[in-house]
Amino acid sequence: MSPAHTPVKIVLVYQSLLGIYGDQGNATVAVQRLRMRGIEAELVVVEPGDPVPADAQLYLLGGGEDMAQISALKAIRTDGGLAKGLQAGGVLLAVCAGYQVCGNSFTVGDRDEVTEGLGLLDVTTRRGPVRAVGEVLHRWTRPDGSESIITGFENHGGHTTLGSGVTALASLEVGVGNDGGGTEGAVSPDGRIIGTYPHGPVLARNPELADHLLQLAIGEQLEPLPIPELDQLRRQRIEHARSL
């Protein structure tokens, strides 16, 4: 049981625009993994026109199609709540289109028009030579130096290049990742903003990543949460991806 504190506020941002492939499930996983440990959690779902709370501990962005991605970017920028929340110490997980939106720029549409991103991560995204589609495996070195596998599936046409202001989240084993060059995802220098491509949703398929985000958000070490059925399913997914 965690020491008593106010409920952990988790904000799911614009899931109607950035919620394909079940990415809104990341919010459900985060809330449940806290509650299973006796930690209160409050899930706030905001849509365009709703104010994004600036006092949350964890923010979640998902994937979306080109026009939805542009609409979400404009609404996030106009609202300003996400930027304020991150400046106040909040943590952000951004998946696929959400990851691209957080970068310096990305391209959309048949003419590959360059769109300025939020600049939260030092990455740029341009249309790649091939679309990345399929199961993925990535090797993630956690802050304590141990290694974990990130599993999921990717479906993105953009290839992302990392700048000097970020580090890769993981190294590539199966799939395309950022651009086929051996890396996947990006992490801000303070570690509190993470961009990644896998869906699944990614936190359902990767409980260690979920707990890492939660520990960053609440500033507490979490006790292990053994779920044998989930561990078995993870092993099967990893074996399957490696057999492809």
2-49 tens-digit pLDDT: 445 689 999 999 999 999 889 999 999 999 999 999 999 999 999 999
Residue boundaries of the structural domains of the chain: 8-243
**Average pLDDT value for the chain:** 95
126-182 pLDDT tens trace = 999 999 999 999 999 998 899 999 999 999 999 999 999 999 999 999 999 999 999
Residues in the chain: 244
pLDDT tens digits for range 99-136: 999 999 999 877 899 999 999 999 999 999 999 999 99
Fold of 8-243: Rossmann fold (3.40.50)
Helices (H), 2-125: 25-35, 66-79, 81-87, 97-101
Q: Which residues are the active-site residues?
A: 96, 199
Element (H, E) at 88: none
3-state secondary structure of 17: coil
